């Protein structure tokens, strides 16, 4: 199926398996275990020899459908779903790394991922060097003989910096390290990291794959083989498996993924272009704008700019809070990936625990606002933002 159909078709159709009832919509299997014909079949199932289902911590038919649909979209041979995006990253680290190993990671990644690498994994003797996303020579220089994993997100959140994934993949390959790309912000609709040379793609399915802010979920996709098999083994043993209900919601979410990502990107571009012309706005960060410093790379690597638009308002924190507090339509929340537009002040929320110096080094100014653009009409979003921009 993967070879013959376009992305839109795969999102709607890939991975579906019908039961004997011939249901048209994908079935939700709310069951924790499965029954066997006889003792011998049960023994084979537990030994991992049978192809039947055993227990939903290992896997479940609804989860299988979700995994196969996401694998098809990413152009991956295999996919393993997890309870959340963070558990997908944890699972990847647990199967690839051991005490004494070293990670090179972008410093512009999700806050909890930074915490995972710098506080949790370091307890187990795994060290991480954080480097600027766009500085290839620093990735190269950070490599040590024990480097096993390269990790990045592109574009970065909230500043929309774009990594040259193919170039970083080449450095990883030379270092003998696995490159894992968290593709949460683009989804396979806008960017397919495996085709650019990444080894693994990681998702927080909580965001755009669900798309309507309902459930938590995560996934890792990659080539069939030892790493993907070890991920299945990790879930079976350690247990951060996805709920079949959540997998079903995400499975159905993927049916509208392409149309949502393109429509949300289109709206984001319109809002970004409007903000860029506003006299109260000092700077707009959006990979889809002609003014973006990495315009050519973004256009080569991504099908559209995505739905995250950040901007600096003149007047610092006070001015930024005024814009946020004047909104009536847009939701004040840190979440993203929803069809409902959200607004947040990174300096006092997502990046609030950093010291002012670390924040400044990360480029998170007091006047910075992040929008995660949804599906409302552009004119209504502009009117909502205009109020506080004065």
Ligand X SMILES: *Cc1c(COP(=O)(O)O)cnc(C)c1O
C-beta separation of 174 from 142 below 8 A: no
In 3D, which of 130, 383, 125, 83 has the Cα closest to residue 250? 83
Question: Looking at beta carbons only, is 108 or 389 nearer to ligand X?
Answer: 108
Question: Looking at beta carbons only, is 62 or 113 nearer to ligand X?
Answer: 113
Nearest 5°: phi and psi at 145? Answer: -60, -25
Does position 338 interact with ligand X (CB under 6 A)? The reply is no
Could you tell me which stretch among 53-61, 79-87, 258-266, 294-302 binds ligand X (CB under 6 A)? 79-87
| Among residues 14, 71, 79, 86, the one that binds ligand X under rule CB under 6 A | 86
Does position 153 interact with ligand X (CB under 6 A)? The reply is yes
Does position 320 interact with ligand X (CB under 6 A)? The reply is no
Does position 184 interact with ligand X (CB under 6 A)? The reply is yes
| Among residues 216, 242, 249, 330, the one that binds ligand X under rule CB under 6 A | 216
> Minimum CB separation from ligand X for residue 77, in Å?
23
Question: Looking at beta carbons only, is 58 or 110 nearer to ligand X?
Answer: 110
How far apart, in Å, are the Cα atoms of 340 and each of 31, 144, 383?
32, 44, 15
Does position 133 interact with ligand X (CB under 6 A)? The reply is no
Question: Looking at beta carbons only, is 86 or 175 nearer to ligand X?
Answer: 86
Does position 107 interact with ligand X (CB under 6 A)? The reply is no
> Minimum CB separation from ligand X for residue 207, in Å?
6
Could you tell me which stretch among 81-89, 160-168, 170-178, 376-384 binds ligand X (CB under 6 A)? 81-89
Question: Looking at beta carbons only, is 54 or 264 nearer to ligand X?
Answer: 264
Does position 110 interact with ligand X (CB under 6 A)? The reply is yes
C-alpha of 329 from chain center = 26
Q: Per-residue x/- marks for ligand X, 274-313, CB under 6 A? A: ----------------------------------------
What lies within 8 Å, CB to CB, of 137 at 6+ separation is none
> Minimum CB separation from ligand X for residue 275, in Å?
22
- Count of residues near ligand X by CB under 6 A: 13
Could you tell me which stretch among 82-90, 118-126, 270-278, 367-375 binds ligand X (CB under 6 A)? 82-90
Question: Looking at beta carbons only, is 26 or 153 nearer to ligand X?
Answer: 153
| Among residues 102, 192, 207, 359, the one that binds ligand X under rule CB under 6 A | 207
Interacting residues toward ligand X by CB under 6 A: 84-86, 110, 113, 153, 182, 184, 204, 206-207, 216, 218
């Amino acid at each position: 199926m993967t070879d013959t159909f376009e992305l839109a078709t795969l999102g709607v159709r890939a991975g579906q398996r019908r039961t004997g009832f011939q249901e048209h919509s994908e079935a939700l299997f709310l069951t924790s275990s499965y029954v066997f014909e006889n003792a011998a079949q049960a023994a084979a199932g537990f030994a991992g020899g049978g192809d039947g289902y055993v227990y939903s911590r290992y896997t479940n038919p609804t989860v299988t459908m979700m995994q196969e649909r996401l694998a098809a979209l990413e152009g991956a041979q295999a996919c393993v779903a997890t309870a959340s995006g963070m558990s997908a990253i944890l699972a990847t680290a647990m199967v690839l790394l051991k005490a004494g190993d070293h990670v090179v990671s972008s410093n512009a990644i999700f806050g909890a991922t930074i915490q995972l690498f710098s506080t949790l994994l370091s307890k187990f003797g795994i060290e991480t060097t954080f480097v600027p996303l766009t500085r290839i020579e620093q990735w190269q220089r950070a490599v040590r003989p024990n480097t096993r994993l390269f990790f990045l997100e592109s574009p970065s959140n909230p500043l929309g910096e774009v990594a040259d994934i193919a170039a970083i993949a080449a450095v990883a390959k030379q270092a003998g390290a696995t490159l894992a790309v968290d593709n949460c912000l683009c989804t396979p609709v806008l960017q397919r990291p495996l085709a650019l040379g990444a080894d693994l793609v990681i998702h927080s399915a909580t965001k755009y794959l669900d798309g309507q802010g309902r459930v938590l979920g995560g996934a890792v996709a990659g080539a069939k083989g030892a790493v993907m098999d070890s991920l299945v083994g990790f879930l079976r043993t350690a247990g951060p498996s996805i709920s079949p209900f959540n997998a079903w919601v995400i499975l159905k979410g993927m049916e509208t993924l392409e149309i949502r990502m393109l429509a949300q990107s289109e709206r984001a571009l319109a809002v970004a272009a409007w903000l860029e012309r506003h006299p109260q706005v000092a700077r707009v960060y959006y990979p889809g704008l002609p003014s973006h410093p990495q315009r050519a790379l973004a256009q080569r690597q991504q099908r559209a700019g995505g739905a995250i638009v950040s901007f600096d308002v003149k007047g610092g924190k006070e001015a930024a809070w005024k814009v946020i507090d004047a909104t009536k339509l847009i939701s004040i929340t840190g979440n993203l990936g929803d069809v409902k537009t959200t607004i947040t002040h990174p300096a006092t929320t997502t990046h609030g625990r950093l010291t002012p110096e670390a924040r400044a080094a990360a480029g998170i100014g007091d006047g910075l606002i992040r929008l995660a653009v949804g599906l409302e009409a552009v004119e209504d979003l502009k009117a909502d933002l205009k109020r506080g921009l004065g």
